[in-house]
C-alpha cells in the first residue's frame, strides 16, 4: 500500500471525537462534520466513517480526512460553523481548526 494513503486507523479508535471533511483539502463548501470515528472504509482512496451521537453516519461513503478533536476544539468549531460555512469564508476547515487550537491555547494560558 502506498504510504501516502496509509490509514489513520492506527491513530484513531472507534469513538474518537473528530472533524471530518469530504475531501482532503477541507473546503468548507463541501460536506464536513464534527462527530465520532466509527471505522475505516477501504476504498481507493481510503475513507473514514463518522457517525453522530445516535450512531448514524453523516455520510454513507465516508470522509477522506479526519482529525481527532478535544471537546473544546469541537465546541469551538461548532460555535463558529456559520462563519466557517459562509460562502466568503477564508481558509479550509484545517485552517479553522488551527485557529481554534491557537485561540484555545491562548485562552488557557491567560
Question: For residue 24, what is the DSSP state?
Answer: T
Mean pLDDT, to the nearest integer, of 11-24?
94
Query: If you search the block for the grid coordinates 486507523, which residue do you land on?
Result: 9
Question: For residue 89, what is the DSSP state?
Answer: -
Q: Where are the domains of the chain?
A: 3-109
Query: Tens of pLDDT along 28-53?
Result: 999 999 999 999 999 888 999 999 99
Question: How far is it, in rounded angstroms, from Cα 18 to Cα 37?
Answer: 6
pLDDT for residue 88: 81
Q: What grid cell was written down for 18? A: 473528530
**This model's pTM is above 0.75:** yes
Q: What grid cell was written down for 8? A: 489513520
Q: What grid cell was written down for 61? A: 461513503
With beta carbons less than 8 A apart as the criterion, state whether 34 and 78 touch. yes
Amino acid at each position: 500500500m502506498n504510504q501516502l494513503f496509509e490509514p489513520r486507523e492506527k491513530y484513531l479508535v472507534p469513538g474518537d471525537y473528530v472533524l471530518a471533511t469530504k475531501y482532503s483539502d477541507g473546503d468548507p463548501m463541501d460536506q464536513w462534520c464534527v462527530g465520532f470515528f466509527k471505522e475505516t472504509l477501504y476504498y481507493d482512496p481510503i475513507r473514514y466513517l463518522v457517525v453522530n451521537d445516535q450512531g448514524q453516519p453523516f455520510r454513507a461513503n465516508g470522509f477522506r480526512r479526519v482529525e481527532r478533536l478535544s471537546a473544546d476544539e469541537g465546541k469551538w468549531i461548532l460555535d463558529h460553523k456559520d462563519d466557517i460555512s459562509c460562502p466568503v469564508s477564508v481558509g479550509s476547515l484545517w485552517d479553522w481548526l488551527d485557529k481554534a487550537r491557537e485561540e484555545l491555547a491562548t485562552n488557557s494560558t491567560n
